[in-house]
Chain A
Amino acid sequence: MTQTTPAPAVPAIADPVIQVRSVVVAFGGLLALKGIDLDVTRGERLAILGPNGAGKTTLFNVIAGDITPTDGTVAIKGRDCTFLPSRHRPRLGMARTYQKARSFDGLTIRENIYLALAGHRGRHWPLWRSPVDRRLDEEATEVAESVWLGDHLDTAAGELAHGQKRQLELGMAIATQPDVMLLDEPASGLSRGERERLVELLDSLAGEVTLLLIEHDMEVAFSLSQRVVVMADGAMVTAGTPEQIQSDPDVHEIYLGVEASS
């Protein structure tokens, strides 16, 4: 059925922050992405939906620079970043989180966030801690409080509960004040209360922040996004507003198919 539906044409938009052009990713013989086009405007809240194996995370990795695409180009803020390694992304104002909550388990929460700040500003070489570092420490404390981790500053990240790890991850992404955030399943494994908090937190981000999220939880996805893109089998199936997607029979079929087989 994915073959019968042509990928939706990308409308020409003003001020694109991310431009993905016919990106193909092959892992050996497996085509993980079969030519993806995607434009994201400044300040847009975009959710990417799709069953497991649809290529959502691969697309994220391409945009974040963790994977160099086999073919196609990626531009961020008008600059061609197809071959730019991931470590240069933060300086372009981009931050990401990962599908499995990732943090530096051996470091405390303060250190985790401090490192996100230090990496962003290239402050990780000096041998001696200076007033600059003290200011970064203070900033880290503020960020920790904004993600409700202010009471756990000196706890090792490895000891956090799953939901708290997600909060920390988000804090590390927010710390650098990015204008583009890629969130890979931020709500996975969270309780209902934690999800509401997450939505509240993401809603509170400034309007000019561009937000891309992969989400399995439709409630979270639909409440946060203005536009939804549905992927299946490495291709884009359809795109539209949350309301359009909710009533799209094709989307139902994709998801029902997955649910029946799992």
Chain B
Amino acid sequence: MTATLQRASAGPTTRRRRAELRRLPAWAVAAAAVAAAVWVAFLADGTPAGAAVTDPGNFVVTLLDAVTFAGLLFVAASGFTLIFGLMRTVNMAHGSLFLLAAYVAIRVQEAMVGRSRNIDASDVGLLDWVVPMLVGATVAAVLGLVIQQVFLQWNEGQELRQALITLAITVVLADQMLREFGGLAGRMVWPGAVTHFFTIMGERYALTRVFMLGVAVLVGVLLWLWLNKTSLGMVIRAGVDDRQMVRGLGINIKRVFAVTFFVGSFLAGLGGVLGASFAGVAPGTDGDWLLNALVVVIIGGLGSIKGAVAGSLLYGTVVAFAPAYLPSQYSFYAIIVTFALLAMVLAVRPYGLFGRPA
């Protein structure tokens, strides 16, 4: 009678089955990475860029392309992963918020400069870029908050329903933006102060791209400080681990959800403004950037900021290097390399580099 009772169930069986997912051995991926590096360094004659040892300038430029594009990817994906990490909501409207912020920022910039077309960089002061950026991102943040409060809040825990709702919102927003902003491509103009070229290894390189990377790094540092050095950040990290227990500690997690959604949408908007300055936006850009954000977080692991950094860098590297270092007649197939990367990462780490099973 005083003996300890045997527990009837031996433990969670689902966990065990998950652990048995078949994985590609890591050495296969390492071998692929080494092969790619050797190819780029020595063998890539006959490609648009040429082997790195014979043409180091092209290599450096491609590397800069990779890192700066990764910065943009990080800004766009970090909000997505932040929202997912805490609320397990796959916010399919992330791309719409990206595009909306871009359009709004373009409008505001036009109003501030006082011209609606052919804005020259020399007319754009730093404020004429920063203020539209903040306005655009804030509009996206407020809209995101409204979406969360009106549509998602009462569907907490119903991931599929939330994904479908946000997908529907994407369709509605895309139509409304087409009506309001038209079907032509729009472009934000970088401030004149950074619209220069500098020379590196004998190659000219646009300072605006480096500026974009700087903004991304600043965003990353602020995000890190917020999550790691403030009490609210601590609550959010705790919520990623166990929402029910956060509630049990007496914390109103619904309000924390609202703040997180606001910040996540703000980051989407920030990404949109950077993207509009970098490459311009048009109808359809929302879908492209939802896909980009998805690729980054699938590589890095859903819900992990560290993963968003790693995913952005890897994805950015592949996007920049594939067209430059594939043999010239195959440059069109560069996109395939992206999906090869995705497949390899998932084969080795099914939850992404820094992801954990939900």
Contacts and interface: CB of A to CB of B under 8 A. Distances in A.
A104 B252 contact: no
B231 A104 contact: no
B326 to A, nearest CB: 40
Interface in A26-78: 51-52, 64, 66
Nearest to A50: B5
Contacts of B253: 87
A133 B230 CA distance: 10
A262 B242 CA distance: 31
Given A106-B237, A106-B240, A216-B7, A87 B248 contact: yes
Contacts of A85: 247
A135 interface: no
B248 A120 contact: no
B245 A107 contact: no
Interface in A81-115: 85-91, 96, 98, 102-107, 111-112, 114-115
Interface in A2-28: none
A124 B231 contact: yes
Nearest to B229: A129
Interface string B238-269: 10111011111111110000000000000000
Contacts of A96: 248
B3 A89 contact: no
Interface stretch (A142-150, A199-207, A231-239, A251-259): A251-259
Interface in A108-132: 111-112, 114-116, 118-120, 122-129
A216 B1 CA distance: 11
Contacts of B242: 102-104
A65 to B, nearest CB: 8
Contact of B248 (A89, A107, A111, A129): A89
Contacts of A87: 247-253
A176 B237 CA distance: 21
B55 to A, nearest CB: 44
Contacts of A119: 235, 246, 249-251
A64 B246 CA distance: 13
Contact of A107 (B2, B5, B238, B250): B238
A126 B231 contact: yes
Contacts of B8: 51-52, 258, 262
B131 interface: no
Contact of B245 (A52, A104, A124, A255): A104
A196 interface: no
Contacts of A90: 248-250
Interface string B218-232: 000000001001111
A96 B247 CA distance: 11
Given A218-B1, A218-B3, A107 B234 contact: yes
B5 A259 contact: yes
A124 B232 contact: yes
B199 interface: no
A80 interface: no
A217 interface: yes
B6 A262 contact: yes
Interface in B293-346: none
B196 to A, nearest CB: 36
Contacts of B3: 218
Contact of A105 (B7, B241, B250): B241
A246 interface: yes
A115 B238 CA distance: 9
Contacts of A104: 237-238, 241-242, 245
Nearest to A120: B250
B45 to A, nearest CB: 47
Interface in B1-39: 1-9
Contacts of A222: 2
7 contacts: A85-B247, A86-B247, A124-B251, A125-B231, A127-B226, A217-B4, A262-B6
Q: Considering the complex of A and B, which 9 residue pairs feature the smallest CB-CB distances, nearest first?
A: A90-B250, A119-B249, A104-B238, A119-B251, A119-B250, A104-B241, A52-B8, A87-B247, A124-B231
